[in-house]
Amino acid sequence: MIRRNRILRTSPAIRAMVAETILTPSDFIAPLFITEGENVREEIASMPGYYRHSLDNTIKEARELWSMGIKSVLLFIKCADELKDNKGTEAVNPDGLMQRAIKGIKQAIPEMVVMTDVALDPYSSYGHDGIVKDQEIVNDVTVEVLARMSVSHAQAGADIVAPSDMMDGRILAIRQALEANNFDKVGIMAYSAKYASCFYGPFRDALDSAPGFGDKKTYQMDYANSREAIKETLMDVEEGADIVMVKPALAYLDIMRMIKDRVTVPVSAYHVSGEYAMVKAAAKMGWLNEEKAVLEILTSIKRAGADLIATYFAKDAVKLLQS
Ligand code: PBG
């Protein structure tokens, strides 16, 4: 034998030397679920170990994340039922929970990169990501609201808005609206390749945002397709996206790799709620070692091309990396 592949696997030291993919805290974006109230900390039933926090506790959580080296949070709010409508009224309320949360976090930790979810579903009486008319999700009217919503988040101090709705043309409309309002330092992280996935189930429990009728297949992508992901992503880059995203992550690593090979902007992955729940459930049954699974999964996502990973395991992963 003249080639012995096992030589480079001999010891932990040599394995560390030749490891190609190293996770670090600044890879992670921590999603946060925010609810009204004071000192509220509600565990999400289908996401054991993950919580909806009131704003005061959210700020504590954000401080802890920052102290651990995590640079970014992605904000989601749980909107009260009585504030939901079919117009996105609460989504653009300058005193809404989202807008107050952005202000509160930026005030407490000015350096933290605050990203915000831009989509109507948490605010929609129909649980859809857009304005509904005759059982249809109307594209262009929705895009106008998303642009106003983005400006409202920017006014509150958001660093990056993250449209997760999959309407056509929204990135350009948002960029133009930000420019028109002099927010030339506010970026856009586009959920570019977002699939209609069963893995969002626990998230919809967390925000009480499940669609009231039908599904999201007329706007989110069909998981049978890959070339469509390239089309969507290249268009978002042309329209002004600073970061593009593939979502979910683990079942879509082929998409991640294709996108990474085709764009020059940073690519982010969303390791979604259902992916978190699967690991938690198997670990609870004693069928998987949670800590090992977390590091293997997150490393695989980065190896596939992700520059950034939004994950509910962000804090756990940093602790594991440090130990
Ligand atoms: C809202 C939104 C969803 C997620 C992020 N933003 C749900 C959906 O599209 O139905 C899912 C995140 C997760 O499952 O962790 N547009």
Q: How many A from CA of 14 to the centre of ligand 1?
A: 40
Q: What pLDDT shows up at residue 223?
A: 98
* Protein residue closest via CA to atom 8 of ligand 1: 200
Residue-wise pLDDT for 230-255, tens only, equals: 999 999 999 999 999 999 999 999 99
pLDDT in tens, 275-298: 999 999 999 999 999 999 999 999
- Distance of CA 251 to CAs 237, 248, 271, Å? 23, 7, 10
* CA 203–ligand 1 middle distance (angstroms): 6
Note the pLDDT of residue 300.
98
Note the pLDDT tens digit of each residue in 292-317.
999 999 999 999 999 999 999 999 99
pLDDT tier at 104, thresholds 50, 70, 90: very high
The annotation status of 232 as a binding-site residue, yes or no, is yes
Please state the three-class secondary structure of 70-115 as a single string: CCEEEEEECCCHHHCECCCCHHHCCCCHHHHHHHHHHHHCCCCEEE
Average pLDDT estimate for 136-147 = 97
Residues 6+ apart with CB under 8 A from 152: 91, 92, 93, 94, 96, 99
Cα–Cα distance, 53 to 160 (Å, whole number): 21
Answer whether 266's CB lies under 8 Å from 113's CB. no
**For residue 276, which atom of ligand 1 is closest to its CA?**
15
Give the C-alpha separation, 184 to 204, whole Å.
33
Q: What is the mean pLDDT of residues 20-40?
A: 98
Average per-residue pLDDT for the chain: 97
pLDDT at residue 138 in the model:
97
pLDDT at 157: 98
Q: What's the pLDDT tens digit per position in 187-231?
A: 999 999 999 999 999 999 999 899 999 999 999 999 999 999 999
Structure tokens that stand for 254 in this block: 């082929």
Give me the pLDDT at residue 130, please: 96
Answer yes or no: is the ipTM higher than 0.90: yes
| pLDDT computed for residue 231 by the predictor | 98
**Confidence at 128, pLDDT banded by 50, 70, 90:** very high
Per-residue model confidence (pLDDT) at position 25: 98
Residue 17 Cα, ligand 1 centroid: separation in angstroms?
Answer: 38
Q: Is the pTM of this model over 0.95?
A: yes
Locate the ligand 1 atom nearest the alpha carbon of residue 201 and give its number: 14
Tokens of 57: 């506790």
- E strands, the chain, are 28-35, 41-44, 47-54, 72-77, 113-118, 131-133, 136-138, 160-163, 187-194, 243-247, 267-271, 308-311
Query: How high is the pLDDT of residue 153?
Result: 98
Give catalytic residues, as residue numbers: 194, 247
Q: Where does 22-322 sit in CATH, by number?
A: 3.20.20.70
pLDDT at 179: 98
Question: Is residue 315 within 8 Å of residue 66, measured between CB atoms?
Answer: no
Give the mean model confidence (pLDDT) for residues 155-162.
Answer: 98
What Cα–Cα distance (Å) separates residue 266 from each residue in 99, 115, 251? 26, 15, 20
At residue 60 the predicted structure's pLDDT band, cuts being 50, 70 and 90, is very high
With the C-alpha atoms ordered 96, 88, 80, 221, is the resulting torsion angle positive or negative? negative
Tell me how crowded residue 134 is: count the other CB atoms within 10 A of its CB: 5
pLDDT at 267: 98
For residue 211, whether the previous peptide bond is cis, meaning omega lies within 30 degrees of 0, is no
Residue from 121, 166, 192, 195 whose mutation best tests the ligand 1 pocket (most atoms within 8 A of CB): 121
Residue type, 187: G
Query: For ligand 1, which residues put their CB under 6 angstroms from it?
Result: 117, 119, 121, 129, 164-165, 200, 203-204, 216, 272-273
- Residue in this structure with the two tokens 């979910």, named with its chain if needed: 248
Distance 13 CA to ligand 1 centre (A): 40
| Residue 175 confidence (pLDDT) | 98
Mean pLDDT of the region 259-266? 98
For residues 77-94, give the mean pLDDT.
97
289: its two tokens? 């070692």
Check if the beta carbon of residue 267 is closer than 8 Å to that of residue 257. no
pLDDT band at 59 (very low <50, low <70, confident <90, very high): very high
CA distances to 9, 60, 113, 127 from 66, rounded to whole Å, are: 35, 10, 10, 32
